[in-house]
Chain A
Amino acid sequence: MTAALRATAVRVLQQLRHDHRTVALLLVVPSLLMGLLAWMLIDRPGVFDHWGAALLGVFPLIVMFLVTSVATLRERTSGTLERLLAMPITRADFLLGYGFAFGIAAAIQATVISVIAFGLLGLDVAGPIWAVLLVAVLVAVLGTALGLFVSAFARTEFQAVQFMPAVIIPQLLLCGLVAPRATLPRPLELVSDVLPLSYAVDAMQRLTVETGVGSRTWLDMAVIVGFIVAALALGAATLRRRTP
């Protein structure tokens, strides 16, 4: 890890630490939503187990995508990105610094939600809880990587938040939570095969019903890592040292 990468991760976490309200929202809102879901399904045994783990994989994608796209846009509009790119920092250091910082934030978020879901709300999965947490953190880093990439296409915060419905909601609809992917019309099933959230939800659903971590689940995680690398590479391509 280079000094510039480490310094960038520390700096992003410091910014987050100074923003108490955002930290509170990051931790409290998903936990409350998980509680709402448990309450909704209280009279339907087993259904919360099916949905709960899947949602643990969906929250970090939405939250980290939004936080990162706004944070990066602010770097672009405030001139700090231009200043940084005039300094000896590589684009990889910049991108991975964000990835590390929000990955750590997501790990804390996923841990808090898990403690509440598994400890308080009685969520029960057959697989190991560490694997559920691992998928949640991978999805969070994916959200960060996608946010870094799309922020290049937004000029204002208003535009940046509009990318959430554009990028995330199609994935939510097609990931298998609304309807099993095998029942989708063939063209839509093919589309869902190339969307990263499909693999996260598959992995979570497999961890819900299978003991241990099967090879298919590892494969799903590897696919998510592949999407992270691709999104970061696209993000790096949008970071230009020379701008018009």
Chain B
Amino acid sequence: MDDDVAVRVRGLRVVRGAREVLHGLDFDVRSGIVTGLLGPSGGGKSTLMRAIVGVQAMVTGTCEVLGLPAGSPPLRRRIGYVTQAPAVYADLTVAENLQYFAAVLGAPRTDVDRVLEQVDLADQRDRMVRELSGGQLSRSSLAVALLNSPELLVLDEPTVGLDPVLRRDLWNLFHRFADAGATLLVSSHVMDEAQRCDRLLLVRDGEIVADETETELLARTGTPTVEAAFLALADRLEGGGAA
């Protein structure tokens, strides 16, 4: 495996129930940058992330993560994963949640304070999770993924519903992690977030429709925004569009 590839996917197919939801994907996620996984809801973004993390059943094809097959036990302490719904215990305090997951990961004891600072929840550490606002809740879930300083962060819609200031702060944080050598794969259904990413993977109906930088995408489609580029690509795939 090349050193600059964190995730290598070849011919990846996923079947859920009777339906194939990912139809043979081929792409690489490069190390040390923020890659945006963009596309509408229901296009397969979450399923793709679950396959990379190794919690998705019925996966065929190649999916190598940090040089190992996805789901290999050694990867479990090297990947930070945030599910779309905040996966933290509502009936514990923020700090108790982090202490628990830190113990499971074998993370250093100082990690709890570090991640609380990073997601700006230090002043909420002793509040019950069920009392947090929506934005605080998703940040508490993000904090868990930052424990043990993972090499790969897989974040499923981490900025949904956050206020713009906080969203900008989080994207800046993601880039600081990338500058420190981590690889980030961040999904969003908000096309505007493309400008925050170093590279883009556009997903639609279980296919990758673009794998390039924002500049390359806009130049190739001759469109002013990623939203317009996505529409242009969708129309092209459907043979000339609805008109």
User: Which residues of chain B from 62 to 112 have a CB within 8 Å of any chain A CB?
Assistant: 71, 73, 76-77, 79, 81, 83, 85-92, 96, 99-101, 103-106
Interface set, chain A 1-42, CB cutoff 8 A to B: 3-4, 6-8, 10-11, 14-15, 18-19
Segment at the interface with A among B52-60, B162-170, B183-191? B52-60
A44 at the interface (CB under 8 A from B): no
Do B87 and A79 have beta carbons less than 8 Å apart? yes
- Whether the Cβ atoms of B87 and A242 lie closer than 8 Å is no
Q: How far is the CA of A116 from the CA of B185 in the complex (A)?
A: 58
**A78, B57: Cβ atoms closer than 8 Å:** no
Contacts of A14 in B (CB 8 A): 92, 96
Q: Does B17 contact A (CB under 8 A)?
A: yes
State the Cβ distance, B36 to closest chain A Cβ, in Å: 22
Residues of A within 8 Å of B17, CB to CB, are 244
Is chain A's interface secondary structure helix, strand, loop, or mixed overall? helix
On chain B, which size bracket covers the interface? 20 to 34
**Contact between B88 and A80 (Cβ–Cβ < 8 Å)?**
yes
Please give, as numbers and ranges, the residues of chain B lying within 8 Å of A242 by CB-CB distance. 54-57, 59, 71
B106/A82 in contact, CB under 8 A: no
B105 contacts which of A8, A10, A87, A241 (Cβ < 8 Å)?
A87
| Bound complex: CA A19 to CA B77 (Å) | 31
Residue A83 CB within 8 A of the other chain: yes
Q: Which one, B55, B71, B86, B91, contacts A19 given CB within 8 A?
A: B91
List the B residue with the shortest CB-CB distance to A18. Answer: B91
Contacting A86 at CB < 8 Å: which of B55, B92, B100, B103? B55
A129-145 vs B, Cβ < 8 Å mask (1 yes, 0 no): 00000000000000000
Q: List 22 A-B contacts (CB under 8 A).
A: A3-B106, A8-B100, A10-B100, A11-B92, A14-B96, A18-B91, A19-B91, A78-B89, A78-B90, A80-B88, A83-B87, A83-B144, A84-B104, A85-B55, A88-B77, A241-B54, A241-B55, A242-B59, A242-B71, A243-B55, A244-B57, A244-B58
Interface residue ranges, A against B (CB under 8 Å): 3-4, 6-8, 10-11, 14-15, 18-19, 78-80, 82-89, 240-244
